[in-house]
Amino acid sequence: MEFSSKLLENAVYEMSQLPGIGKRTALRLVLHLLKQPEERTQLLSNALMTLKSEINFCKTCNNISDTEVCEICANPKRDETLVCVVEDIRDVMAIENTSQYNGLYHVLGGKISPMEGVGPQDLYISSLVQRVKEGTVKELIFALSSTMEGDTTNFYIYRQLEGLEITTSTIARGISVGDELEYADEVTLGRSILNRVPFESSMKAN
């Protein structure tokens, strides 16, 4: 792509460094900003810069927060004996949206993936083990992706916790609500039969 302006080329290049944004999309976004009042660009730049320089990660659960301890960890109404282990802050948001969970979280910041060069030392696993050792937590719920990396991470943490008094569980894998059986994959369907739940408790969940 040939640009008539170095400034434009530079802006497009920087924009296209974002994931999923190619050169063409970047050009569209940059030209859109050019058409808008300068204020718009300023607001965007400021928001990004402020976020980057002032953001905190909760020192207990590693969730993104404006304060030292995040709102969830600081909320006395939440059950502090229950900790849900997730990869990412987006998973916290997804679980919070269900309004079905009243415990705390622990954000790992990713999952163990040798292919991408992510090892246990790159994740917040030791702080999780430390948290369990402190004794308040009674149950850990693993809510990682159902992939090989997710399973590896679950297992690694499980081994780290050996000898500690803690119940561990994983979120249920099964047929999605609203899905038809004939289109479900065999592994999921097989597991959902093995891990069947009493009918009464399945009714309660609705």
Does 30 bind a copy of itself (CB under 8 A)? Our answer is: yes
Binding mask 38-67 for a copy of itself (x = CB under 8 A): x-xxxxxxxxxxxxxxxxx------xxxx-
Query: In terms of CB distance, is 11 or 144 closer to a copy of itself?
Result: 11
The correct pick among 15, 104, 123, 137 for binding a copy of itself (CB under 8 A) is 15
Query: In terms of CB distance, is 53 or 201 closer to a copy of itself?
Result: 53
Least distance from C-beta 67 to a copy of itself, angstroms? 9
Does 14 bind a copy of itself (CB under 8 A)? Our answer is: yes
Residue 142 CA to residue 157 CA, distance in Å, equals 9
Does 80 bind a copy of itself (CB under 8 A)? Our answer is: no
The correct pick among 22, 59, 68, 71 for binding a copy of itself (CB under 8 A) is 71
Query: For the chain, give me the number of helices (H) and strands (E)?
Result: 9, 6
Query: In terms of CB distance, is 40 or 173 closer to a copy of itself?
Result: 40
Does 166 bind a copy of itself (CB under 8 A)? Our answer is: no
In b/e form, how buried is each residue of 96-107, taking b as 16+ CB within 10 angstroms?
A: eeeeebebbbbb
Total chain residues near a copy of itself (CB under 8 A): 59
Measured from the Cβ of residue 183, the count of other Cβ atoms closer than 10 Å reads 8
Cβ-contact 139, 80 below 8 angstroms: no
The correct pick among 60, 62, 72, 132 for binding a copy of itself (CB under 8 A) is 72
Residue 17 CA to residue 71 CA, distance in Å, equals 32
Does 74 bind a copy of itself (CB under 8 A)? Our answer is: no
Instruction: Single out the residue of 45, 44, 42, 68 nearest to residue 55, CA to CA.
Output: 68
Least distance from C-beta 38 to a copy of itself, angstroms? 5
Residue 92 CA to residue 107 CA, distance in Å, equals 8
Residue 142 CA to residue 102 CA, distance in Å, equals 15
Query: In terms of CB distance, is 2 or 182 closer to a copy of itself?
Result: 2
